[in-house]
Amino acid sequence: MPTSPAPTAPTLARASDAPSAAASPLASSLAHVARGNTCAGCGACAALAAGKVRMTVADPGFLRPLQTAPLTPAEDEAIWRVCPGLTENVETEGRQDHVLWGPYVSMHTAWASDPEMRHAGASGGTLSAILLHLVESGTVDAVIQTTAASDFALGNATVVTTDRAGVLASAGSRYAPSAPLADLHERLAEHQLTGRRFAFVGKPCDAAAMAALREIDPQVARAVPVILSFFCAGVPSHAGGRAVLAALGAEEARTRSFRYRGNGWPGRATAVLQDGTERSMTYHESWGRILSKHVQHRCKICPDGHGALADIVCADAWESDENGYPLFEEQPGVSLVIARTALGERLLNEACAKGRVETGPFDVDDLVAIQPGQRERRRALAARLLALRIAGRPVPRYRGLHLLAAARQNSVRKNVTNFLGMIRRTVMRRA
Ligand SMILES: Cc1cc2nc3c(=O)[nH]c(=O)nc-3n(C[C@H](O)[C@H](O)[C@H](O)COP(=O)(O)OP(=O)(O)OC[C@H]3O[C@@H](n4cnc5c(N)ncnc54)[C@H](O)[C@@H]3O)c2cc1C
Ligand code: SF4
Ligand code: SF4
């Protein structure tokens, strides 16, 4: 990290802090992210420098920060410390710490007891059931989460939900860009005025940014006491979503809504056209054949597709083939639920005791077989990062993520293949 003038304590800026200047030199943090193309699109920088940085859609359809005014040294410094495109730091703090799956307290299979929620959820609706428990128990007042955008069928929107209807409407995975931290300064202003507290659910990189923000700003820790996340293989661009629509023969302008997953397990990618007719394809066809080919660069070098910095994480607990696709067509959903912190464990137990969530046993050793994509990316990462460094491409600074131990689970030959593959892709991109 380059040296910058001594920062004052970094906190989330208010929009009123924004100067009126329009053109400005890019902050060193954002310039570094842009050079490495390591933006994950979380939106934390837009909250840290509200009024000076905002999220926009950049080709081929990813959410990226646009800086419109000079940042103060403190804002730049805060982005260096929080941005998952620059850094990610995991502390074990006495917990079991699996080389591939990170620190955890317990692992179970789980599903929402509410059948409608279980059906609507991406896997077992477990995240939604826990979120609803958090609100109904008064642990938090509201949830910051992601749902389908009302004006763009393929897109996402960040919403604040407070009841079953809101949580249910946001259930299911949206394989498209989301920036759930971009409005965080507004939630913090609410917290200051009213004491309102929020649970946050986001991709692992969003969770990491939120956890880092809580480290540098105690007000964030008070306003957002619980972080939930899910396993994440990568975020596809809107171009990926458009390719799915094209394969379905659904014209985007005539598509009223689009559901990537959920409503069954794994649930079909479904476009509803303006005339009410539906076109759909399986998860294997949508994610496997199309969307997975459109993920951003940061996802290919992601050390944390498993949400190491959340309190509770969910994933698909399916039996899968060697490519990670379920060995069944459709059935009632089952999530894997990982309590990563003592708080997460307590909240999960409470949700079970209140009858919101049902759990079954799960053996951590089974994860290697049912999450092959995550396994392979973790093991390949050290070789890929080395290749990028040698090629002069900036990469994020990862700490506590056991990259070398994971690489040692691969043969030397496989590590060399991953290294050469990344070098080749980097050279081709330059050419
Ligand atoms: C981009 C992406 C990649 C994924 N990759 C994997 C994977 O590799 N392996 C795996 O096991 N599972 C993966 N999942 C997660 C999986 O699809 C389920 O979300 C997970 O099993 C939780 O299911 P659930 O039924 O408990 O959650 P639900 O009850 O359906 O709740 C889902 C929650 O996730 C939030 N959410 C949905 N989409 C987004 C988004 N784009 N950004 C931020 N928040 C969002 C919703 O607001 C909701 O709160 C991925 C999900 C996404 C969105
Ligand atoms: S990863 Fe997040 S914080 Fe970093 S530049 Fe991208 S949007 Fe901003
Ligand atoms: S793969 Fe990693 S970087 Fe990409 S969206 Fe998921 S958590 Fe973020």
Q: At what angle do helices 73-82 and 28-36 cross, to 10 degrees?
A: 40
The string of pLDDT tens digits covering residues 1-26 is: 333 333 333 445 433 333 334 457 99
CATH 2.60.40 given to domain 96-237+292-371: no
Higher pLDDT, 253 or 18: 253
The more confident residue out of 426 and 117 is: 117
Does residue 429 register a pLDDT over 90? no
- Among all chains, which residue has been given the structure tokens 């969770």? 207
- Residue 426's pLDDT band (cuts 50, 70, 90): confident
Distance of alpha carbon 158 from alpha carbon 160, whole angstroms: 7
Q: What is the pLDDT of residue 14?
A: 39
Stated pTM of the model? 0.95
Provide the mean pLDDT of the chain. Answer: 93
Ligand 1 pocket check for 201: Cβ under 6 Å: yes
- For residue 243, pLDDT over 90 is answered with yes
Instruction: Find the mean pLDDT for residues 36-55.
Output: 98
The pLDDT-based confidence of 262 (bands split at 50, 70, 90) is confident
Please say if the pLDDT value at position 378 is more than 60: yes
Domain ranges in the chain? 96-237+292-371
Express each pLDDT in 60-82 by its tens digit: 999 999 999 999 999 999 999 99
Ligand nearest to the CA of 85: 2
Positive/negative CA dihedral, 98, 101, 102, 106 = negative
Residues 6+ apart with CB under 8 A from 45: 29, 30, 53, 65, 79, 82, 83
Taking the CA of 318 as reference, the closest ligand is 1
Q: Ligand 3, from 231, 237, 287, 304: best to mutate by most atoms within 8 Å of Cβ?
A: 304
* Residue 19 dihedral angles phi and psi, to the nearest 5°: -75, 165
Question: pLDDT value at position 13?
Answer: 42
Residue 262 Cβ inside 6 Å of ligand 1? The answer reads yes
